Structures are given as structure tokens and as C-alpha cells.
Structure 1
Amino acid sequence: MGKTLDWNAAALAVKTLTAAWQADAPGGAVIGFDANGIRFAQAGGLENLATRSPFTCRSVVRYASVTKHAFAAMVLSHPDAIGLEDPLGRHLPELREPLASVTVGQALDMSGGLPDTRECLTLLGLSVFTETRAPALFDYLCRQTRLNYAAGTEVSYSNTGYRLVEAALARKGLLFHAFIRAAGWQAQAVLDAPEGWNDPVEGLMPGYWHDGTGWQLSAAGLHISASGSMTGSAESLMHWLQALMAGEGRFSGLLERLSQPRRLADGRTTGYGLGLRQTWLGDRTFIGHGGSHPGYKTYFLLDPEAGTGFVIVSNREDTNGYKIALEAMAALNGLPLPTASTALVDGLYVTEQGPWWIAVKGSTVTWLDADESVYEDGDGWVNSRSASSPMRLRMEGSAIVGQVGHVPRRFLPADITACANDLSGRWENGEGASFDIEEGVLVMGIGPVRQRMPLQPLGAGRFLFTLKDGPWTKRVCLHRLGDHHVELVLSRARMIEYRRRR
């Protein structure tokens, strides 16, 4: 490349961003590396608040969605068993339409429209702590008859495609935990893939989230699936990524295939591949991915051309691994960071029809409960610069226009004067879930976990309410479909319907 890489500048950028990893709190580790090994390593905080042991580059954590590219590697390794163009229904005949016609590739590249299982459970009133098992979850998905959007028309993050493809491979005797242990061993990495939160994993450190007064142990009840089941250390993740970039033996050509741009049904390319997403700095393109479980945050960013990369792992909920990786890569290569933009006017906006809403506050745009930072993109435009949550918008008078998820959208200021009194009553879902609406307040839950959530009007039969669930706070859109028919909408699950009991 001919350009000097400044590892000292990269290390300094990391040190500045990880200053919050104090000796008496959860922490993490960051490794900057190239083909020859570690160029710098930093660790801070504690890996376990009970034992007070310090976090190191060998502390084992949950990688969460960093798992996705590794599972996609398994899929590509078995072309005789499954193909990217195969409809899911070919391998899982129990699936109903339109889910059955989503292809394996669409299920893995975030264009399939498959509703996210965890967010579906949230909209049914089940907590993040509620334990669920793979067979019952699969049966639940087989009962679904709606996608979030038509397959191949949008890019929006969901974990369900990975869950379903994993189930398809398991029927053929191909198990992800066996694959990743063996492939990890060949990469000199100690990796595992437990399916349940409580499954024993050698050396696994607890994760933590802060409730406003102190650190709490994290937990999750959802069967994890290959969308986010991998565990390992910062050091093991580095070795795995080095093997991918070296491309020798079973890893030959794998990174290129995983990161190759995918296409929507109309032929447009997206920045999300198979468990890997593009990141842009200046005129350069890098590849990486992040992961988030309650109490754990992970991220990696690679420059395959130079053979360099950064790994961030953490056992605390508030770590922004993307920011650490981005600023480290920029410092290493002497590239400018994108400039945050406040060109959009703060406020709450909705499309003329449908449950689609955004909230703007400074340089943060919230789309259906998913927060994204936006950056200057010239001529008044702002851009999320995110391959998994693409967004390009600008002001047009009092409206906001542009694209979200590669779909054209026009947002108008919300009508916050509407009334929800005519929604009063008991609302029920076919899965046995229910909630009540009483004088503009939605009431969900039983006994001590019963929540009363005021409905905030958006106009045209749409309302927002805020649901709190352990470390998560969700803003849910209630969208009226008829006098006795509503749907609840989050960014990853847009198809949960309720009907009023008459």
C-alpha cells in the first residue's frame, strides 16, 4: 500500500475511549493486530465483580452477533447440503408462506424480512429473562404468516434467518457448535457455541448492565441460536480473524465470499454480506460486525488489503465497540472520521400512513426504536453510514425525505393531539397474549410485573408506548388496522397483531 500505519495513534485512540473501564467496574479488552500478531493490546476493568479478577485479553465472553459470519462460513462449507438460492421451505417444509419462500441467502443477508424472534416475544409480553427452548420457538415461527416486508425489498436487521438456517442444517446432522470448535482449533482459537444462557462454558465471565444505581448481573432466557451463540476471548477472536484474512486451507477464499456485496430483488447492491458489513472511512472500505447480548458487547473491524484489524470485547452493556473500532482504524490509517450532522430538525415524525416513525434528536435518528447516528453527506443530506441500518435523509420544508433500509420514505411532523380513548378494552393475540387499554394507558403484564404505559399519539391511529424490560427500554408503535384490530411494531418485528374482545 505504501502508506505507513500509525499503531501508536491507534493505541492512543483506544486508550481515550476505554478510560471508563475502571478497576472497580466491568471492563473489556482491545487488540490491534496484523498478519504477524498483536501490535498492541489494552485491557481494563474486571472480568468478574465477585472475584475481583482483572479483565485480560484471554477473558472469555459472549461474542453475540459476531457469530453470524462464522455460521455463514459453515453454510458455505456445505454446498452439497444447502444453497444460498434455496427457499427455506425446501429444508423446513413446516414453514408457512411467505416465510417458506425466503431464500437462504436472504435469510442471512438481512433482506429476508423475517421477523426477529426475540422482538416478537417482547411484543407478546415475554421478558428478556423468560426461558424459551429451540423446539417451541421453531413451532412458533412455523405458525407465522407475515413478514416484516416483502423479501428482497429492504435491509433491516433480524436474527431469525440464522435460527432457521441452523435448524435446517441440524436436520442434516450438521451442528454449529461442532463446526466452530473444529474450525477454531485450526485457527488456534478456543471457540464454543452454547445454545442456552445457562449452559456451562469453560472460563466464561459474567456480563453486567447498570440499572442507574449499580451493576447488575445480566441474563437472558432466549435459546441463543447461531445468530449469536459463539463464546471466546479477544485473543481467540483475533486468531480466528487472522485465519480468515490469511485464507489458507479451509479458510481459502472464505472472507471474500462472506463479505461480497449482496443484492436486493431489483438488483441494487447492499453493504451487508453474509454476517459481515461494510464500513466506510474516507475513500476506503473496511469490513466487520458487532455483537450485543445483555451485559456483553463485541466488535471487530478488518482491513483485508493491509491484513490489519481490531477486536473489542467487553462484559458491560454500555461499551460502544463500533466507535472504538472506527476511531482506531481511522487513526491507524490517517483517515478522517465522518462528521456528525444536526441538519435534521429535532422532533417526532411519521409517514402519512402505516406504522413508520422516526425521532430526531441532535445527530441521532431513531427509526422504529433503533437508534442510529447520522453524519454529513453533502447538500443537506445526512447518512447513517450503516450497512445493516442504511439511512439517507434530508429536510424538505417541514418534512424529512429520503431512504431508510433502501426504501423511499417521506416523514411529516407527528400529530401529538390525537386521543386514544376509543381504543379502550381488552386486546388479545392468538398466541394467548393480551393487554388492556384504559383511558389512554396500555396495561400489560401480570401481578408485580404489570406495567402501565401511557400512549403517546402520533396521528392517524398510531401511538407510541415505552416498555421497560431489564436492561432494555423499547418504544413500541401501536398501529390501528381497524376498529377492533391493531398491530404492535418494533424495528425488527412488525407483524404482531391483536384484536379487541367484543
Structure 2
Amino acid sequence: MKMPRPHFGAVLFAVGSLLAGGAEPVPPTADAAGRAPQIDDVLTRAFPADAPGAAVLVVSRGEVLLRKGYGTANLELGVPVRPEHVFRIGSITKQFTAVAILQLAEAGKLSLEDDVTKYVPEVETHGEKVTLAHLLTHTSGIPSFTDEPAWRAAPREDMSLARELSFIKGKPRKFAPGTGWQYCNTGYRLLGEVIEKVSGQSYAAYVEEKIFRPAGMTHSSYDDPRRMIAGRIPGYSPGPEGRTLNAEFVSMTQPHAAGALLSNVDDLWRWEQALANGKLVRTDLLARAYTEARLADGRRAGYGFGWSVGSIAGRAAVAHGGGIQGFSTYVLRVPDAGLFVAVLCNSNHPKLAPGAAATRIANLVLGRRPDVGVAVPEEVLARIAGVYSIPPNDRFELAVQEGRLVAIRAGGSPVSLAAVSAEEFVVPANDMTYRILARDPEGRVVRVAFQRPFSQEYFADRFAGPLEDPAKPAVVVAAATLASYAGEYELAPNFILTVRQVGDSLTAQGTGQGATNLIAESTTRFRVKQVKAEIEFKTDETGRVTGLVLFQNGQEMPGRRKN
């Protein structure tokens, strides 16, 4: 599903704020087709011929720039990936679930403001009204059953909704509905139940009749390992000592409406065309799916109905990733530029990173942001400069250097910001945005918002103290204990945190990012040097390390150990 736990999932870009970064977009070109050789070169290097690979489709304004397979579809038979091959798409499934709900709303069979208990009375909502819209936008506060160790221990079990809800029975809510955002597979599993009860059909039958057939998606279906499915290829997972293993079996009753569908790149393009043409749902309803939710305090959630909402090269974009045993996937669309990119991988190895590949492709096609470079007087920038605090304990600094505004994280290097206006600044390489929200009577900025694309927004208030607290005495951790923490931890589909022992210390490296040092606060808890974040390692009753929790920006993001 998706993040923070993530078998079956989308991509948790908030996790990526451990380190800022990204490739600088190339200058624009009058002929997007001229980028095809560059795209092919990027993908050839990303997916070696003798390893699991990817099917990729890139379409610009109706023109296919690239449709190609990379790497190997079946390692045991030596069959290469072809673009028509069928993959598990993981949490990209959520787009189809969201549109199914919108179809039923358009037909007058339900309202997006209906309380989920109208359809699933047994779900615990702690006396609060949790609407279908809350479920669609991951703002319900309901815990995700995929975060629970007991669920992770039973991938082969056929599960009913009641069984999945049992994993979170008695668990406290994450937040009051509408006040926070946290990716939740339980929410989309509940939406699947709503679809079945309202339509009188199974989820599989509904999406086949109401979505796949009208859209001409002849290679898409609900996955069933027992059926013969033309073009379906096996998935692979990383094993110990760099080996590749056949993916672990998972009962497809578990992901259900959160991540159980199969498709290929051609069908996903047909899906986008059917939506754009109004064939499946009214365009005004679809516009809501592409609009990021607003939380009670006004923050942007970075997520609509089944789509992450953000920007690439300054242009509005929608996207979603998927991660499930043996597969990792990503689809993005930049509507105004007519750009569509699908990258489907037959491995969930963190180094494949289909989201990073798709974003790199989009940057190659789109070129530089067209809206940056506004001149802002230095005296205006000076009223922005200062240290800002994000509850509970994160900080960053905005400073003026050589006439430009820069952002600085604790222990990090300055990152130059480009002005969109005197009230909005961006990191051109990755579209991270800083917006001015409030000023004091003297005109000095006292509150800003910052947001990484496809991630929720955070508010930060001016802080009177320093960027970094005085250093604490070092905690010495035994080498054997450090060695036990080394490994790969899955915080989100397509986002792995790799912990390595380097001498008498640890480093952590997120997918597609550089390594950062970890500073011991205790024998189990470590501080991330470059940002205000902490990692705590978790063990079972035998003392075996089973996972970690990343604490950042007031969130707790669990990561399951993969090796």
C-alpha cells in the first residue's frame, strides 16, 4: 500500500526532507522529442540488463516520446522486460478507488460527507465524525493496520476487513479528523468496503465493469496469484549479501482497494486519457481529486483523492507511487504541459526508485522553472532572515547571503532560494517552497510555511534562540550494538532508510539521497545530524532489531527492517 509502513504504497516525500537535494532541471527545448535519447540513457543506467527492471512510458502532448522495457522480467528464464508486461501497481490502486467513490457520488448513491460508520459501523472513530472525504485524503486520524507488527507477520493469510480492523482495535487515534495528515491504508480498505456495500458488487467486479472496460484497459485487473494472466511478470526483492530473491507471497485479499490491482504502462495511459475526456467521472468531481486537502489550521496536505498533489519544475502535477512485495511503481502527470510518465518496476529494491526516475524524466522534458528570478530588494529579504521553529523541536534558518535568500538546516550547507515573488521562494532543483504567512507591526516576518512537492505543508514561527542547541556530551554505544542496527528499513514504498556502521558511529541514507551522520542520544536513540530529527531502534522480546521510528516535524514514522 504505502507510507509510513508500506507494502502496497505511495511515496512518502516528507521522509525525503531528511536531506534537501535534487537534480537541476535542464534548459527547455522546443522539441520535447529531442529529449528521448537522454531519457533512454538515464533509464539504461538505472536498470541494468541483467537485473530486475522497469517498463516505462513517456507521453508529451499526445506524442509518445519513449515506450520501452529495461532490465529483466524473469531472471530464471532470462526474459527481458517489455513495455506491454503486466505489473502489480501497489498504491496506484488508490486512484481507481477514489474515482469509484466519485462515480457513486455522481450517481447520488453516497455523499463524500457521509460518516464512514454509516457503511462500516464497526470501525472505531472515537466518537468523531469521520467522512469519506477524510478517508480519501488520509486526514481521518484512523491508525493504519499496515503499521502493526502483528499484521506484518502474516502476509500469507487471507484477511477480511474485520480481521484487518482487529489489528488497530483499541489503538488511539492519530489526530482529530481533519486536523492532521498521515498516510493510512485502513482508510482505503474502508473505502473498498463502502464501494462493495453501495454498489452490490465486489470491488474487483466494480472496477472491471465501471472503470477498466469503459477506459479500454484490457490488461488491468484485480490480482489473483492463482489465475493465468497474460503478460504478468514475477517480482523480486533484495536479499542478504546483495542477492536477489523471488518476492515473498502476499494474499491479495489484504491490500484490496488500497493496493491490489495489476496494470501496464499502456493501460495507465488509457486511464489518464479516459479521465481527461470525462469518460469515467464528471470533470468538476475529478478536479476535487486533483486538489490538495486543507487541514483545520489551513495547512496544505499535499494530497487530494487518491493523488499526491504538488509541482515539478514549477508546474502543477499529480502523482502516486506504489510499493508491494516484489514491485515498486510511480505515475505522474503534469496537466498543463500534457506530460505523462509511468515507471513500473518488478522489484522493490530501494535502489530502483521509480519516483526519482519519473521525476528526473519530467525535469528533462519540462526544463527550468519559468517563474523564478524575480528581483527582491535586500532590505526586504533582511526582514525575512532569522531562525524558525517547527513543533516540536525542528528548526531552520533563512539568511541573506550575497543578495540572495538561503535556507540552512542545522549542520547543513546553505541552499539558495529563488524568488517567485517577495512573498514566495523556492529551491529550483526540487520545488521546495517557502511562503510568507505573517509579519509583525514593523514588517518583520514572524511565520512562514514550507512544503516539499507532494508532501504536507508545515508552519514555522520565528524563534528567538539559536539554530542549534549546545552540544550534549557524547554517548558511547558498543560496537556490537551499532552493528545490530545496520540494515535497511522501509519507511514508505520506494523509500528505504539504509543504516550503516562506520567505525564507532552510524550513518543513515535515504533512497536517492546522501548519507548523514547519526549522533547517539542513548543506546537506542540517535539524532540526525543535519536536521532536527531522531531515530529510535526497536527490538522484539528476544532483543532482535525489528525496525525503527523516525521522529520529525511532530510525526512518528515507523520503518520495518527488511534484512
Q: Deviations over 1:446-480 (max 9, x none)?
A: xxxxxxxx961469xx9822569xxx9731379xx
For residues 90-105 of structure 1, what are the structure 2 equivalents within 5 Å?
Answer: 90-98=118-126, 101-105=129-133
8 A contact 2:431–2:453 mirrored in 1: no
| Per-residue deviation, 1:243 | 1.8
| Per-residue deviation, 1:135 | 4.0
Q: Deviations over 1:313-346 (max 9, x none)?
A: 11122322222222222221222599xxxxxxxx
Distance 1:15 1:102, change over 3 A: farther
For residues 63-78 of structure 1, what are the structure 2 equivalents within 5 Å?
Answer: 63-78=89-104
| Per-residue deviation, 1:191 | 4.7
8 A contact 1:271–1:387 mirrored in 2: yes
Distance 1:291 1:43, change over 3 A: same
Amino acid at match of 2:278: G
8 A contact 1:262–1:271 mirrored in 2: yes
1:491 corresponding residue in structure 2: 557
Would you say 1:127 and 2:153 are equivalent positions? Answer: yes
8 A contact 1:416–1:456 mirrored in 2: no
1:385 corresponding residue in structure 2: 452
In 1, distance between residues paired with 2:237 and 2:410? Answer: 26
| Per-residue deviation, 1:374 | 7.8
Distance 1:315 1:458, change over 3 A: closer
In 2, distance between residues paired with 1:166 and 1:298? Answer: 21
In 1, distance between residues paired with 2:102 and 2:95? Answer: 10
Amino acid at match of 2:356: K
Q: Deviations over 1:392-428 (max 9, x none)?
A: 779966657xxxxxxxxxx998897599xxxxxxxxx
For residues 76-95 of structure 1, what are the structure 2 equivalents within 5 Å?
Answer: 76-79=102-105, 80-95=108-123
| Per-residue deviation, 1:181 | 2.0
8 A contact 1:99–1:114 mirrored in 2: no
In 2, distance between residues paired with 1:309 and 1:189? Answer: 17
8 A contact 1:64–1:291 mirrored in 2: yes
8 A contact 1:68–1:226 mirrored in 2: yes
Task: Find the partner of 1:219 among 242, 248, 256.
Answer: 248
Task: Find the partner of 1:332 among 355, 365, 390.
Answer: 365
For residues 134-149 of structure 1, what are the structure 2 equivalents within 5 Å?
Answer: 134-140=160-166, 143-149=169-175
1:368 corresponding residue in structure 2: none
Q: Deviations over 1:214-244 (max 9, x none)?
A: 1111125361111111101111111111222
Task: Find the partner of 1:32 among 58, 63, 76.
Answer: 58
Would you say 1:177 and 2:228 are equivalent positions? Answer: no
In 1, distance between residues paired with 2:548 and 2:536? Answer: 6
Secondary structure of the residue aligned to 2:267 is helix
Task: Find the partner of 2:261 among 230, 233, 238.
Answer: 230
2:383 corresponding residue in structure 1: none
In 2, distance between residues paired with 1:413 and 1:14? Answer: 48
Distance 1:456 1:236, change over 3 A: same
Secondary structure of the residue aligned to 1:261 is coil
| Per-residue deviation, 1:77 | 0.4
Q: Deviations over 1:43-76 (max 9, x none)?
A: 2111111221110111110111111111100001
Distance 1:378 1:128, change over 3 A: same
For residues 293-312 of structure 1, what are the structure 2 equivalents within 5 Å?
Answer: 293-312=324-343
In 2, distance between residues paired with 1:267 and 1:305? Answer: 26
In 2, distance between residues paired with 1:297 and 1:387? Answer: 18
Q: Percent identity?
A: 23
8 A contact 1:247–1:254 mirrored in 2: no
Q: Deviations over 1:261-291 (max 9, x none)?
A: 3222344443311011222234321111111
1:320 corresponding residue in structure 2: 353
Task: Find the partner of 1:114 among 126, 129, 142.
Answer: 142
In 2, distance between residues paired with 1:5 and 1:144? Answer: 58
8 A contact 2:250–2:325 mirrored in 1: no
1:163 corresponding residue in structure 2: 189
1:7 corresponding residue in structure 2: 33
For residues 358-397 of structure 1, what are the structure 2 equivalents within 5 Å?
Answer: 377=433, 385-390=452-457
In 1, distance between residues paired with 2:178 and 2:471? Answer: 29
| Per-residue deviation, 1:188 | 2.1
Secondary structure of the residue aligned to 1:8 is helix
| Per-residue deviation, 1:144 | 3.4
Q: Deviations over 1:169-193 (max 9, x none)?
A: 2223143322322322222222544
Secondary structure of the residue aligned to 1:180 is helix
Distance 1:300 1:352, change over 3 A: closer
Secondary structure of the residue aligned to 1:165 is helix
Task: Find the partner of 2:216 among 188, 204, 208.
Answer: 188
Unmatched 5+ stretches in structure 2: 1-27, 372-389, 395-408, 414-428, 436-447, 478-521, 528-533
8 A contact 1:197–1:220 mirrored in 2: no
| Per-residue deviation, 1:254 | 5.3
Distance 1:283 1:350, change over 3 A: closer
Unmatched 5+ stretches in structure 1: 339-348, 354-358, 364-372, 401-410, 420-453, 479-488, 494-502
In 1, distance between residues paired with 2:158 and 2:470? Answer: 40
8 A contact 2:212–2:218 mirrored in 1: yes
Report the more deviating stretch, 289-298 or 193-202.
193-202
Distance 1:84 1:56, change over 3 A: same
1:437 corresponding residue in structure 2: none
* Structure of greater relative contact order (alpha carbons < 8 Å, 6+ residues apart): 2
8 A contact 1:27–1:47 mirrored in 2: yes
In 2, distance between residues paired with 1:261 and 1:125? Answer: 30
TM-score by length of 1: 0.69
Report the more deviating stretch, 221-230 or 191-200.
191-200
In 1, distance between residues paired with 2:183 and 2:207? Answer: 23
Amino acid at match of 2:176: A
TM-score by length of 2: 0.62
Distance 1:144 1:192, change over 3 A: farther
